[in-house]
């Protein structure tokens, strides 16, 4: 059991939860890309695509929500370090089968990664899209929300393989 505790970075030797000590880590460029999908009815999809939703500019609101969520991640996810974001982008794509794909890219120079920031941005953007369009379709579904790639830090780079959890 103690060897398992040693490999868990948020558990100390006594089994207590704590924030990871990053004081000795080097500052490196960090970047993460996450996506989230929203599937909706044809009516809601066409209204959103045509800019004819009851709550106004949904896409601008979704982008702002993603940026705000990235910046607030450490306040939402326990044990996340606050990071000064250097860049956040949010792209929204209309896909076949009444699906919208939201991609969030977060980057900074820091001592810890930005995966949680990118994932939080994508998740909150999807929830915002749902909130803005729910008057047209309460049966929308969100997911998957997942990390696509990350760069920087001790663990290096990661890129999701295309055959991993296909959409």
DSSP category for residue 68: H
Return all residues near 162 (Cβ < 8 A) that are at least 6 apart. none
Q: Any idea which of 11-20, 65-74, 99-108, 111-120 has the lowest mean pLDDT?
A: 11-20
Q: 37-153 in CATH: which number?
A: 3.30.70.640
SS3 64: helix
SS3 131: helix
Please tell me the distance from the alpha carbon of residue 65 to that of residue 57, in angstroms, as a whole number: 12
In tens, the pLDDT along 127-156 reads 999 999 999 999 999 999 999 999 998 888
pTM score, whole prediction: 0.89
Q: Is the Cβ–Cβ distance between 106 and 80 less than 8 Å?
A: no
Residues annotated catalytic, as ranges = 131
């Amino acid at each position: 059991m103690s060897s398992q505790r040693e490999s868990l970075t948020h558990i100390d030797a006594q089994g207590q939860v704590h924030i990871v000590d990053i004081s000795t880590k080097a500052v490196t460029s960090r970047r993460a890309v996450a996506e989230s999908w929203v599937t909706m009815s044809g009516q809601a999809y066409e209204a959103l695509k045509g800019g004819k939703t009851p709550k106004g500019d949904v896409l601008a609101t979704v982008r702002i929500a993603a940026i705000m969520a990235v910046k607030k991640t450490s306040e939402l996810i326990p044990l996340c370090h606050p990071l000064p974001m250097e860049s956040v982008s949010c792209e929204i794509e209309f896909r076949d089968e009444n699906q919208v794909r939201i991609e969030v890219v977060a980057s900074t120079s820091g001592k810890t990664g930005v995966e949680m920031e990118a994932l939080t941005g994508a998740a909150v953007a999807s929830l915002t899209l749902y909130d803005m369009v729910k008057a047209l379709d309460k049966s929308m579904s969100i997911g998957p929300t997942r990390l696509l790639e990350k760069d920087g830090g001790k663990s290096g780079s990661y890129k999701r393989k295309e055959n991993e959890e296909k959409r």
